[in-house]
Amino acid sequence: MNIQCPAAIGHVKVELEANEALHVLHPQSIAAFQGNPRNREDRFMDLGGAYRKKRWTRSRLQGPVQFLLGLPPGFTLEMVDIPEEGSLLFDYRHVMLFSDGMTFKSKILKWRTAWITRELVRIKFNGPGVLGVLSVGDIATIQLQPDHPLFVDKSALVAYPEDADIKLSVYGNSLASQHMNVQWELRGRGPVLIQTGARDTGLQDKLTDDGWVKRVLREALPFGSVYIK
């Protein structure tokens, strides 16, 4: 299996041998396909009871084939090796593809956490295999520590260990805590995957000429950056 993820180009080139197969969770991202047409099989996908009301399709691509995946502007694809007993819980929205033979199951989050973060479940993958993770910017990895909390912006957290101690929080003094997005506070052991795309919405607003009233309200009101979009 050969997966080429050139930086800042906006596509991924995949080559599969005859005994290899991949599942692509966003079939419409397949921009070009070279191989036997019968080597692509689309099917309905069920990611657990929480998602049974939605019908998503995925594509199983069997080698020997070559194909191109188009990525949204500013996004990158990172390949993550998953062991036989995986421990990471992934935000399903970031999963682009995974190798054939892998299994996955869903984990329901606490209601209070789900309400604030608008996440109901996270997905745990078991290998061995590889997982293609789609992110804004690159993926950074930080190791957790049991005695020192790691705070991560709620929109930046891609994956964390299943046995991590996690809760919603803010940090810093009162001014800092009132003007930041809700944070995930994590403790434990193991890697945390974080997407590193720009988190400063104020910078984006300035570049896109957002209204000055919105900018002032975001700065002046407690939690203004959370509620004023």
pLDDT at 221: 62
pLDDT at 229: 60
pLDDT at 20: 94
pLDDT at 53: 35
Average pLDDT score over the chain: 82
Q: Which parts of the chain register pLDDT below 70?
A: 5-9, 45-56, 116-117, 198-229
Write out pLDDT tens, residues 72-113.
888 889 999 999 988 999 988 889 999 999 988 888 877 777
Cβ neighbors of 64 (< 8 A, separation 6 or more) are: 16, 17, 18, 35, 39
pLDDT at 50: 36
pLDDT at 9: 66
Question: 228 — phi, psi (to 5°)?
Answer: -105, 110
- Give pTM, 2 decimals: 0.78
pLDDT at 49: 36
